[in-house]
Structure 1
Amino acid sequence: MMGAREEERTGFQEGSGFGEKYDLQTDFVMVYGVSATMPERIRQWAERGYKVHLMTGVSWGGYQEYLNGQYDGRPHWDEAQTYKSGETIIHGTSREIPYMVPTVAYADFLTERIRPAVDAGVDAIHLEEPEFWVEGGYSEAFKREWLIYYNEPWQDPDGSCDGQYRASKLKAYLYTRCLDRVCSALKEYSLVKYGRPLRFYVPTHSLINYAQWRIVSPESRLLDVPSINGYIAQIWTGTSRTANVYEGVAAERTFETAYLEYGIMQELVRGTDRRMWFLHDPIEDDPKRTWSDYRANYIRTLTASLLHPGVSRYEVAPWPKRIFEGQYPAENGEGKEPIPPDYATTLLLLMHTLGNMDQPEVEDFGNNVRIGVLMADSAMFQRKAPGVPTAGFMLKYDGTNEVEMTDEYALKLLLYSSFYGLTLPLLKHGLPVRPVQLDNIRRFPGYLNDYRVLVLSYEFMKPEFPDIHASLAQWVRDGGALVYVGDDSDPYHQVREWWNQGAKPYLTPREHLFECLGLAPDRAEGVEAVGRGVVVYMKEHPERLAESAEAADRLRHAVRTAIDKLGDGRRSWLPANHLMIRRGPYVIASVMRESVSEEPLRLTGLYVDLFDPQLAVRETVVVQPGHQVLLYNMQQIDQPGRSGIIAASSRIECFMSEADSVSFTVRGPQGVRAVARVRCGFQPSSADYTVPGRTEPLAYEWDNRTSTLLIRYEHHPGGAEIRIR
């Protein structure tokens, strides 16, 4: 059953007003956009019982009155992000919507533009996608900001590694400043005028995806902005199906990529009181794919998110109108077709199941080694080789999600093998790798305590502060195992930064780290004990570890050596082709291809299959490689004789259980075929469906093994009552 809407466990974003056909009945809705219709759209959704938030773009939007000078009397097109060629970087296909350089004037404009949403009574505001493209940095506004920030004249970001690194640091700072200014001003306004606290959230892609797609965003810097209350992890098929290389093969690996993306986003809230919602998208921005393609990849991303139990809030869909009213290419290639009824039913089943994922009991199955691969914001700062043109590489936000490749260098950039070379060889063999935010080591004492093994390389990112190394070295001395991978060949080691600017300069940040560990900077690769811990040094560029099976094995051997050297018999790594956890009664598993075997995962027990639109009861579940499963374990129920909802493709309200009857109200999108499996303390003799003006009998199927019945019905505007006698 769904909890109170005040908990805001599930929500969606929608640019249209209320519509019966996409009334998902989540806890909250994010009304999208600050157009003149915004107050009316807010009113419509609030009247239907939703908690109402506002969402708008922070780096782009329909802000023509600002750009063209109507807002303050001067045009602001010089604040549009600009290529080296002088061409404006646009969002989508309209030349009128550029990505913006977030100046102080632009932040103040956003504050005024969003203020009417506060007046309309929204509970929270989401400023989405603070994005500055790596290819940008040539507008007059950016040149002014460079002079203000660095106290030196602007330099061409494409002229040197130092120019690119410094430009990217500035880009991250500018959006951090913008968000702080807008959020603080409107929070004060809400308190002064209405005495009402206002919350701010930042929907953002993962650090992994932004680095891969060559976009700069604040990411972990948002932790230093006190006016921000949390985030939405914008991870979906469109980000996670971006190809990468494993054992020399470039391919889409949606599940594995999504698993890593959700993992790094969890680090933005771990150990804090901030909220995180994980996003799923049942389709994606690319309208050329079939419903079967959308479904398969949606299941992969959803399963990946559920394997991270530290988060239990979800944005169940962006743009539900395009899901439930849109049409996409037919499977036979002839014309387009609306959403298949079974997929619509499954989507609603899963959306409402997500509201129950805050489970106190979590159990991991399989490998119990807590291993992290360190990732830093600076990974976004060195995503271009000076003098090599790559503007044609940019991903297009025009509804096609296409990538234009100019040459082999652009393709190599997009594959991002430096990161995936450190992660996929471990994940593919059943090790539950967690990306760990390097920058957080200095923010939170004991941040690394949950991990026994860490993998690190400075060949594709850099430590922004030297004190990170003191904490990392102490973690090793206290019994951690550090696997360092790098050959010091990255040209970005020479940028003007702390490791080469102080009284004792170092050629690379690795040299400073090794000094903190008590190791000689020029030591040979190998294994060395440090205190109660160990350092394994691989003198190799991580990109090479993606090139072949033999290279992947070298990384696996180094990590296994680190685990063995710790001498903890309780920690082991047994190669496996799957990941699996339990969250309360829910069992989540994914079996991977390209792994140690092609054997399926076999589970026996008594399960309800939540990926099945008929909510089938299964005693044996077989999960083939490349597939996932989400099950309700009927043997995990605490009170077997008690009535309750196992799963339903509806919001369940007013649930009443008596000795001889069970009744409840169901709500959901009009016209969608709905299903529910209900556990009863008695074997039923009838089931009725009541809407204003009529009552009719419902057919049902009784399952004696689980004491549940399956009912099917359609949603009705205003809801319907179901009574089981």
Structure 2
Amino acid sequence: MKMLNLLIASIFVLIVQVEALAQSKSKEKTSFQASAPWSADYDVRADIAMVYGINDDGGKFEERVKGYRDKGYEVHFMTGIAWGQYKDYFLGEWDGKNHLDEGQVMRNGETIWHGQNVPYIVPSTNFLTYMKTHVKRAIDAGVTGIYLEEPEFWARAGYSNAFKKEWQNYYGYPWIAQHESPEATYLSSKLKYQLYFNALKEIFTYIKTYSESKGKRVKCYVPTHSLINYSSWQIVSPEASLANLDGMDGYIAQVWTGTSREPIFYNGVKKERVFENAFLEYGSMVSMTAPTGRKLFFLTDPIEDRARSWDDYKVNYQATFTAQLLYPMVDNYEVMPWPNRIYKGKFNVEGQKEKQGISPAYATQMQIMVNSLNQMPLSKNTLNGSKGIGVLLSNSMMFQRFPTHAGYDDPQLSNFYGMAIPLLKEGVPVETVHIENLANKNTLKDIKVLIMSYANMKPLAASFHEDLTKWVKNGGVLLYYGKDTDPFQNVKEWWNTNGNTYKAPSAHLFQLLGIKESEDKQEYPVGKGKVFLVRKDPKELVMQTNGDTEFLANVKSAYENDAKAGKLIFKNNFVLERGPFVIAAVLDENKQTEPLTLNGLFIDLFNPELPVIKQKTTIPGTQSYLFDILKVTNKNTPQVLAAAGRLEDQATTITKNAYSFLIKSPAKTLNTMRILLPKKPKAITARVNEKDLQLLKNEWDENSKTLLLGFANYSEGVKVNINW
């Protein structure tokens, strides 16, 4: 019997070691960015600390890097490529010349500033030489990854002498003010797009070459807003084209409350729809990168840049957090930016005059959520609902957002949202498809119905139409919505130059499809597929009350009758299981107003008390995040199921009658954790620096065989010993 007990204990230890080894293989799964030096007060224990800026937070870059590395982090470097703490460059300290004239300038002659003496930049050759000194210093400090953040050129900019010079060099003729014609707007944006593509290409090439000369290969990433957000906010950025750069290793999808709360139209009402917007933004980043195989991190932020209340932050954090988890093909996360701002900042609390720091309850909940991301698995499960419906996107959405010409406007990017929001609001997990990726055989592999318009974008190559035609002839169903009367239809592009005389780019597509348009007809069989041609701009579908009725009927007919993809299901919820995690969202503004009820044995991960519940009801307009205890593997092995801290795997041990571990989290916060055990414990201790801590929670739940444990967090770690 003694030998058997020893064998069982050895197996327990082996299981823990195997699980620890599996997790240690992925030491770049979670990250955060911080300009401030390491502090116990915001030691969030992700895998990667992205130390921000050479000159940020008083400089001392190498000290900041060492501070995080000494605490066990993989250290990367992040800095802005379009703005940053580069006053030594702009004010002449670097090369003796003032470079404020390289800022992005509006029509009224004013520079667009990111901060005092920090303009948004027209990336000149000289500036790129300066930036190389920053990345070189970072590589010399030993970082293993570099992030060049937010390559942004404002659509309303383009009037500086620096930009005029770049125009002359690129186009070979004098600058034309972008407000003078649609073509000038289009050309201006194409140049802005190209300038930052070239800038990143040059810096990434330097990073790879220099790091390899030092005997290592530093990875290169671009943290960027989604194409949807940049188009909405009227910013131009290289976006999808960067994925084809040899030196490009991946992206951070910068989606958070600040981007997702941008008001959008639906059913004639303009307002914030944070969950829906976030879902589409994350989706556009997935569709942009999936065919390329580049790594993708999803970002969320427990607060945001704009000053709001803690209650506002919490509600919208839950919405964006849920949206990111509904993409089971992504399991890398930036868990937060600026942790010092979150833990040390003060913001409004409803009903109180003075601003307050983060509440203990919200801090605990947030830490439960971010630490769950270290466990979040990839999954082959898919969202409930009718799959295979996509909306076509193009980088050129950014090219026609400013200024307004001939009175034509696209309020709140409604020509995009008009194709996506009506379906999403009906519980259809609509996807986005990047036209630039159509040549990749996987891009349309699972798409049954594709919706598109050239009211809000233009095809940058004729080959895209060849790809679409092939797809339709092989059985795809295409819905084209658009009057094709916007002023950008006539810009000098491939469809009306070099022997082509098409009045609109869609005419070229329809010719390839063999469609001869008839006023009394909107459905056209093409090969094994079909095309719906509706002469209505998509913005009309959402800017008018019930404007989407005919649209939804057309999609239903295309999906069920033509694509033969099954029944198009309208509902008011999304649910996804990823390993033991259950993620749910219930939509408002839907004819179905009933809540979603899930039955089982769950831990509520949005509740800082981590209650065990048998039923969870989610009402419209809210989300839920659950841990399904019944889905736990190795049920006989003691294990932490959820916690407001991170376990140090190498410090975890299991014997026949005991379980011990070390858990770390920011100081001055409270840890709540739910632990699966073989039986009710007889003795529990929590110690830090050889001192016993008071147990704030110590509750056994016999039904779930879990222990609820609570105590104060310490950055250096709390050693927990449980005996039964």
TM range (shorter): over 0.9
1:516 alignment counterpart: 512
2:8 alignment counterpart: none
Matches of 1:655 and 1:176, distance apart in 2: 47
Query: Among residues 550, 572, 581, which one is paired with 2:546 in the alignment?
Result: 550
User: Residues 375-429 of structure 1: CA distance to partner in whole angstroms, max 9, x if unpaired?
Assistant: 11000000024569xxxxxxxxxxxxxxxxxxxx99x755221111111111000
Matches of 1:219 and 1:71, distance apart in 2: 30
Matches of 1:53 and 1:708, distance apart in 2: 38
2:603 alignment counterpart: 608
Query: Among residues 388, 391, 396, which one is paired with 1:378 in the alignment?
Result: 396
User: Residues 306-332 of structure 1: CA distance to partner in whole angstroms, max 9, x if unpaired?
Assistant: 111121111111111111111111210
1:400 alignment counterpart: none
Relative to structure 1, the CA distance from residue 589 to residue 138 in structure 2 (aligned partners, 3 Å threshold; closer, same or farther) is: same
1:395 alignment counterpart: none
Question: What aligned pairs does 1:109-508 form with structure 2 within 5 A after superposition?
Answer: 109-192=130-213, 194-287=214-307, 289-365=308-384, 367-386=385-404, 415-442=412-439, 444-508=440-504
What is the CA distance between 1:521 and its match in structure 2? Answer: 5.0
What is the CA distance between 1:336 and its match in structure 2? Answer: 0.9
Misfit runs of 4+, over 4 Å: 521-525
1:584 alignment counterpart: 579
Q: Is 1:647–2:642 an aligned residue pair? A: yes
What is the CA distance between 1:85 and its match in structure 2? Answer: 1.6
Residues 243 and 292 in structure 2, CA contact (< 8 A), matched pair in contact too: no
What is the CA distance between 1:525 and its match in structure 2? Answer: 4.4
Matches of 2:75 and 2:364, distance apart in 1: 25
What is the CA distance between 1:610 and its match in structure 2? Answer: 0.7
1:45 alignment counterpart: 68
What is the CA distance between 1:593 and its match in structure 2? Answer: 0.7
Matches of 1:593 and 1:515, distance apart in 2: 42
- Secondary structure of the corresponding residue to residue 163 of structure 1: helix
Q: Is 1:4–2:48 an aligned residue pair? A: no
Matches of 1:51 and 1:479, distance apart in 2: 48
- Secondary structure of the corresponding residue to residue 601 of structure 2: strand
- Secondary structure of the corresponding residue to residue 653 of structure 2: strand
What is the CA distance between 1:566 and its match in structure 2? Answer: 2.5
Q: What RMSD over aligned residues (CA atoms) do the two structures have, in Å?
A: 1.7
What is the CA distance between 1:164 and its match in structure 2? Answer: 0.3
Residues 361 and 584 in structure 1, CA contact (< 8 A), matched pair in contact too: no
State the one-letter code of the partner of 1:72.
D
- Secondary structure of the corresponding residue to residue 322 of structure 1: helix
What is the CA distance between 1:696 and its match in structure 2? Answer: 4.9
Matches of 1:522 and 1:460, distance apart in 2: 23
- Secondary structure of the corresponding residue to residue 487 of structure 1: coil
- Secondary structure of the corresponding residue to residue 223 of structure 2: strand
What is the CA distance between 1:616 and its match in structure 2? Answer: 0.9
Residues 147 and 221 in structure 2, CA contact (< 8 A), matched pair in contact too: yes
Residues 164 and 386 in structure 1, CA contact (< 8 A), matched pair in contact too: no
1:33 alignment counterpart: 53
- Secondary structure of the corresponding residue to residue 451 of structure 1: coil
- Secondary structure of the corresponding residue to residue 56 of structure 1: strand
User: Residues 571-601 of structure 1: CA distance to partner in whole angstroms, max 9, x if unpaired?
Assistant: 2212101111111111111001101221100
2:720 alignment counterpart: 722
- Secondary structure of the corresponding residue to residue 383 of structure 2: strand
State the one-letter code of the partner of 2:570.
P
Q: TM-score, normalised by structure 1?
A: 0.94
State the one-letter code of the partner of 1:234.
Q
State the one-letter code of the partner of 1:689.
A
Query: Among residues 536, 549, 554, which one is paired with 1:540 in the alignment?
Result: 536
Matches of 1:720 and 1:616, distance apart in 2: 22
- Secondary structure of the corresponding residue to residue 329 of structure 1: coil
- Secondary structure of the corresponding residue to residue 7 of structure 1: coil
What is the CA distance between 1:5 and its match in structure 2? Answer: 7.7
Matches of 1:448 and 1:523, distance apart in 2: 30
2:77 alignment counterpart: 54
State the one-letter code of the partner of 1:303.
T
2:7 alignment counterpart: none
User: Residues 645-672 of structure 1: CA distance to partner in whole angstroms, max 9, x if unpaired?
Assistant: 2111111122222221111110010011
Matches of 1:66 and 1:525, distance apart in 2: 61
What is the CA distance between 1:333 and its match in structure 2? Answer: 3.9
Residues 448 and 563 in structure 2, CA contact (< 8 A), matched pair in contact too: no
Q: Is 1:105–2:126 an aligned residue pair? A: yes
Matches of 1:467 and 1:301, distance apart in 2: 36
State the one-letter code of the partner of 2:629.
M
- Secondary structure of the corresponding residue to residue 447 of structure 2: coil
Residues 30 and 373 in structure 2, CA contact (< 8 A), matched pair in contact too: yes
State the one-letter code of the partner of 2:199.
C
Residues 687 and 697 in structure 1, CA contact (< 8 A), matched pair in contact too: no
- Secondary structure of the corresponding residue to residue 675 of structure 2: strand
- Secondary structure of the corresponding residue to residue 356 of structure 2: strand
State the one-letter code of the partner of 2:24.
A
- Secondary structure of the corresponding residue to residue 167 of structure 1: helix
Q: TM-score, normalised by structure 2?
A: 0.94
Residues 686 and 697 in structure 1, CA contact (< 8 A), matched pair in contact too: no
Residues 465 and 498 in structure 1, CA contact (< 8 A), matched pair in contact too: yes
Residues 666 and 719 in structure 1, CA contact (< 8 A), matched pair in contact too: yes
Listed as ranges, the gaps of 5+ residues in structure 1 are: 389-408
2:98 alignment counterpart: 75
Residues 675 and 707 in structure 2, CA contact (< 8 A), matched pair in contact too: yes
Listed as ranges, the gaps of 5+ residues in structure 2 are: 1-18
State the one-letter code of the partner of 1:724.
I
Matches of 1:670 and 1:68, distance apart in 2: 40
Matches of 1:611 and 1:60, distance apart in 2: 36
What is the CA distance between 1:494 and its match in structure 2? Answer: 0.3
Count of residue pairs the alignment pairs up:
697
Relative to structure 1, the CA distance from residue 563 to residue 121 in structure 2 (aligned partners, 3 Å threshold; closer, same or farther) is: same
Residues 252 and 298 in structure 2, CA contact (< 8 A), matched pair in contact too: yes
What is the CA distance between 1:531 and its match in structure 2? Answer: 1.5
What is the CA distance between 1:452 and its match in structure 2? Answer: 0.8
What is the CA distance between 1:639 and its match in structure 2? Answer: 3.1
State the one-letter code of the partner of 1:9.
K
Relative to structure 1, the CA distance from residue 580 to residue 331 in structure 2 (aligned partners, 3 Å threshold; closer, same or farther) is: same
Matches of 1:179 and 1:704, distance apart in 2: 57
Relative to structure 1, the CA distance from residue 482 to residue 181 in structure 2 (aligned partners, 3 Å threshold; closer, same or farther) is: same
Matches of 2:706 and 2:262, distance apart in 1: 42
Which stretch of structure 1 is more off in the superposition, 102-111 or 253-262?
102-111
State the one-letter code of the partner of 1:559.
V
Residues 525 and 536 in structure 1, CA contact (< 8 A), matched pair in contact too: no
Residues 362 and 584 in structure 1, CA contact (< 8 A), matched pair in contact too: no
What is the CA distance between 1:458 and its match in structure 2? Answer: 0.3
Residues 410 and 539 in structure 2, CA contact (< 8 A), matched pair in contact too: no
User: Residues 505-544 of structure 1: CA distance to partner in whole angstroms, max 9, x if unpaired?
Assistant: 2111111111111112566541122122111111101111
